[in-house]
Amino acid sequence: MDTDQIRLGIAGLGLAGAFMIRAAAVHPAFALVAGMDPAAAPRDAFARDFGARTYPDFDGLCADPDVEVIYIASPHRFHAEQAIKALESGKHVLVEKPLALTVEDCDRVVEAAVRTKRVLIVGHSHGFDPNVRKMREIIASGDLGRVAMVLTFNYTDYVYRPHGPDEANRALGGGVVFNQVAHQIEIVRLLVGEPITALRAHADRLDPDLSTDGAAMAFLEFEGGAVASLTYNGYGYFDSDEFHQNVAEGGTLKSGGHAFLRNKGARHRDESAIQGLAYGARNLPVEQPFLPHFGVTIVTCEHGDIRLSADGILIHGGNGTERVAVPRGRGRPGQGDALDALWSAVRERKAYVQDARWGRDTVAALLAIERSASTSSRIELEKTRVMA
């Protein structure tokens, strides 16, 4: 093991954990040394593949002296308590979005991170995608003038994919707002670089057999005058990857067309299908020929428009369209970029954007979206810091 590698423990060996494990396994700056999950099957697969120790409970992972950083991919309702416990155990933390389900719990995590002086990064989200970060770099340069508007939309079959019981229960963080719109909030906050001051939203449950909303729209106002329009539809009749060169969210090329009609039905309630998402239960795609994305994102600036492409970004300006290729970085783009930020923060003490306060403000926006949707009203948000 390279002595400069970060020794990583994984809490939660389900879907999110499996994707991050795949990213960490090919990232030269990380070594997978321990894993935790209540279920035996993914623990056994993890131990077999990496020669790592495994634990059935979070306390065991926190007590492992060889673990430097814990990546938390447990169900949302455990994020805050596990993050605090990990920090107080002397571990740095990478925690999946959302940071918590309430602003109050987020504040507790913020306090713990400050008190323990440990790194806490909220991610992975698609705000880490290298093409999104390149868009932010171009915006920050000022070459295209100020940001006026951001449009982002994504149409998928999310609500008919297999889900655990928490994802069917809004009180436990279920539904598309906390699970999917969170990515869009992270993207537009990074691109605009200013606090959200107010928003108006709509959410809808279009399938009476499901207990949570499957579609949502939000209109966000930012401190400097920019606005953003967010749309997410998880009912699967239309696939917005048609507008993204038929490249899937993870950067692989889709084949066989839109699979909605084959997936619709009770699969989201099928326990065997849910178990089939855990680490070791399936072979995840190895090749990632294109960059990841989360639907279509277009930024309108004073002197041009910028949008994502399969291998970078396109700048539509006064002299025509410029194609900008974006380097893939170390490991797998997206999750690998989150790991890069983590390594730089832990090993080089570099500043990072997606800290506990950042995660808190994303949760505040998600709760405001749900409140606006339920009351049909415009919601003002408290002023938060401006991001560099």
Residues 354-368: tens digit of each pLDDT: 999 999 999 999 999
Give the tens place of pLDDT for each residue, 301-354.
Answer: 999 999 999 999 999 999 999 999 999 888 899 999 999 999 999 999 999 999
Range 6-126+332-356 has CATH code 3.40.50.10800: no
The dotted CATH code for 129-329+364-380 is: 3.30.360.10
| Range 370-378, long-range pairs (CB < 8 A, 24+ positions) | 370/177, 370/201, 370/203, 372/199, 372/200, 372/201, 372/202, 372/218, 373/201, 373/202, 373/203, 373/213, 373/216, 374/203, 376/202, 377/200, 378/198, 378/199, 378/200
**Who's near 42: CB < 8 A, 6+ residues apart?**
13, 14, 17, 18, 35, 278, 279, 280, 281
Q: Regarding predicted confidence, which is higher, 238 or 274?
A: 238
Which pLDDT value is given to residue 271?
61
Q: What percent of the chain has pLDDT over 90?
A: 82
- Residue 284 pLDDT class (50, 70, 90 cuts): confident
Residue-range domain boundaries for the chain: 6-126+332-356, 129-329+364-380
